[in-house]
Amino acid sequence: MDGLFSPVTIGSATVRNRFVLPAMQRGMAVRYALTPQLIEYYRRCAHGGAGLIITESAAIDHPTSTGHDGFVLMLDDRRGDGWRHCIDVVHAEDSSVLVQLNHTGACRVENSGGPRPDMASLSPSGLIRSGQPNGRAATLDELGELRDAFVRSAMFAKKFGADGVEVHCAHGYLLDQFLWHETNLRTDGYGGATLAERARFPAEIVRAIREEAGDDFVISVRFSQWKEADYAARIVEEEEDLRAFLARMRDAGADMFHVSTRRFWEPASPDGMRTFAGWVKSLTDARVVAVGSVGLNVDVMDTIYSEKTIESRAEHSFGVLQDLFAKGEFDLVAVGRSMMGDNDWVTKVREGRFAEVVPFRREIVKEALGEWDDTAIRQAAEHH
């Protein structure tokens, strides 16, 4: 089929269509491991049409990677059987799998859980945002340990059969804290006045994964302007600064940029003519994923923290996506909450069965958040 339902290559992988299930926590992990319920969710979304499944964030193999107590994912040999089974069943549905790797950095709530709650949270400069300290700045030796932990986790993902990994550099977590000028005040070569300079550490991680995993392993980099601690934040204003950042990450080994926005259709380029994904796409030959409230009128943070009425807009969104895709603004599109609400969303849209789409309900996210009141996402959001 043409357009959004045509296959696409990402590095060495071929994905059957342009629809992506992005990483969104479902609250279904137990003791940092995949559960049958979570595996079935991924299988159903693959069966329902998503060509690429990106798992919810897996905390990297480091004692300070998360403050969550057991219900986020991790990769290691003890949990290998679950990962292999999950990846196998998604592959059986003819979909590809990336594992998202993350470290929460200064968003981590200390003394609240996780593998080592007694340890200080690590970040570039000990800041969750300007004037909001938490934890401390990582030493150069600790940066090396963190880099090695990302690589170990990536190699576990490859060992278990994943097509690649997504390195999470968005939403105010550790690697995004290096990109944002408010949270990266380092003067040791890992900071700088430009986005490309501040990208040194994330680029080193991508390069180290590429060198260890080889060329037949997809590496996606997810990044954003906005943070959960500051919705209006911007890591880049100037086109040349963005171009240099993308070039640095691409040279390090990134195959794809997953460009996170709260509303995919909004103009974001300096000239006001392109979306954020479109702006990025105009500056790189890498694949670009658009994302942000596809099929809905309310963005993800308002879903959690407001009572705005949520309306399903599958047909309208699909029309806008088709127009933007025809203009070359993105290569793939991630559909999160809409696919959480209806695992068959892609198939129904492909067949024009818009009236049959099951509307997303706010309760799905609230149920997934569970007992997150004292964890990283809420701590960050309280400061926005």
Count CB-CB contacts under 10 A for residue 324: 20
Distance CA(209)–CA(207), nearest Å, equals 5
* Catalytic residue (choose from 32, 41, 42, 173): 173
**Is there a contact between 143 and 85 (Cβ–Cβ < 8 Å)?**
no
Give the residue from 25, 112, 26 showing the smallest Cα distance to 68: 112
Q: What is the largest CA-CA distance in the chain?
A: 56
Displacement of CA 120 from its chain's centroid (Å): 24
Asked if 41 is an active-site residue, the reply is: no
DSSP assignment of 19-49? EEE-----S--BTTB--HHHHHHHHHHHHTT
Give, in order, the Cα–Cα distances in Å from 361 to each of 259, 303, 308.
25, 9, 12
CA angle 28, 217, 148 (to 5 degrees): 75
Instruction: Write out the two tokens for 242.
Output: 């963005």
Distance CA(207)–CA(370), nearest Å, equals 36
The beta strand positions in 116-261, using DSSP E, are 122-123, 127-129, 132-133, 136-137, 164-171, 218-227, 256-260
Q: What sign has the CA pseudo-torsion 113, 56, 102, 333? A: negative
**Is there a contact between 95 and 174 (Cβ–Cβ < 8 Å)?**
no
Which position has the token pair 């260890």? 212
Residues with a catalytic annotation lie at: 173
